[in-house]
Amino acid sequence: MNATDDGVIPLPRAARCPICRKPASRQHAPFCSGRCRDIDLGRWLTGSYRIATEETPDDGGAGETG
């Protein structure tokens, strides 16, 4: 994707907000608004987004030598 003359990278035609699925805006990309951007940030800060793993919190390598 190439930048326009003013340096703005255009959004894909079908870009949708990952929170509410409305069309994304250039100003808040990839979100449609500041509200959806803030909802996403809040989810990151509260730990709502997690990657599944089989490790337990104690498996952090604290007792390992090596």
Ramachandran quadrant class, 38 (left: phi over 0; alpha: psi -120 to 50; beta: rest): alpha
Distance separating alpha carbons of residues 37 and 55, to the nearest angstrom? 31
Q: Where do the domains of the chain lie?
A: 12-47
* Helix segments in the chain, DSSP class H: 34-46
* 6-62: pLDDT as tens digits: 666 666 667 899 999 999 998 999 999 999 999 999 999 999 988 888 888 775 655
Residue 27 CA to its chain's centroid (Å)? 15
* 50-59: pLDDT as tens digits: 888 888 877 5
DSSP structure string for 36-54: HHHHHHHHHHHT-S----S
Quote the pLDDT of residue 66: 47
Q: Enter the pTM of the model.
A: 0.59
